[in-house]
Structure 1
Amino acid sequence: MEVKIKENKEKKRFEAEVENKLALIEYIRAEDKMYLTHTEVPSELEGKGIASSMAKQVLQQIKDENLKLVPLCPFIASYVKRHPEWKEILAEGYKV
């Protein structure tokens, strides 16, 4: 399922509203890095590819902003492992 994300800078997260429920990816920006810390999709919406769609869009934004990714969230780390084309944006010293 393709979803549209928006960045909520005040709450430091990317959000997507799906079926009147909120899915999110939380982050910390520091210097030239973006630390993705937590991904959450409401249980009723799990298994629909929402988190994967959000991850792809967030990673593209990180790349577009010339930032480096620090994948602290286990879901994001496993997404990058399954999609090795994103390994190029990993911050130095981080492996998945």
Structure 2
Amino acid sequence: MASVTPPGLAYEVTHDLAAHRFTARVQGHLALLEYQLKRRRMVITHTEVPDAIGGRGIAGELTRVALRWARDNKYKVVPACAYAEAFFERHEEFHDLLA
């Protein structure tokens, strides 16, 4: 498991490669992004942030960290959950990763 503290944030994003997920624990609540790896593709299947910590950009940060990992490891990305699809629509800087 690897942890990354995004600049300027008060929480860590942890990558559990064996479980295929990125997580952040904020004020005792667990936010997560789950994915599958298939033939050099990262398929983002689920993103979840509890209501108690919603509206703080946590899902976006989980997605950014996941996409940077995909880029660093030469994976293309399939946004298979609604949040990931919407994220790609708003962030052209990651379009090169789309499968």
Question: Under TM normalisation by the shorter chain, which class is it?
Answer: 0.7 to 0.9
The residue number in structure 1 matching 2:88 is 80
Distance (whole Å) between structure 2 residues aligned to residue 8 and residue 21 of structure 1: 17
Q: Could you list the runs of 5+ residues in structure 2 that have no partner in the other structure? A: 1-7
The residue number in structure 2 matching 1:56 is 64
Q: Report if aligned partners of 1:4, 1:54 keep a CA contact under 8 Å in 2.
A: no
Q: CA deviation at 1:73?
A: 1.0
Higher relative contact order (CA 8 A, sep 6+): 1
> Match of 2:94, SS?
helix
Tell me whether 33-42 or 9-18 shows the greater mean CA deviation: 9-18
Instruction: Please report the TM-score for the alignment, with normalisation by the length of structure 2.
Output: 0.85
Tell me whether 65-74 or 8-17 shows the greater mean CA deviation: 8-17
The residue number in structure 2 matching 1:42 is 50
- Structure 1 runs (4+) greater than 4 angstroms displaced: none
Instruction: Please report the TM-score for the alignment, with normalisation by the length of structure 1.
Output: 0.87
Q: Report if aligned partners of 1:15, 1:24 keep a CA contact under 8 Å in 2.
A: yes
Distance (whole Å) between structure 1 residues aligned to residue 29 and residue 56 of structure 2: 13
Q: Could you list the runs of 5+ residues in structure 1 that have no partner in the other structure? A: 92-96
CA-based RMSD of the aligned residues comes to: 1.3
Distance (whole Å) between structure 1 residues aligned to residue 74 and residue 48 of structure 2: 25
* The one of 14, 22, 36 aligned to 1:28: 36
- Give percent identity, aligned residues only: 34
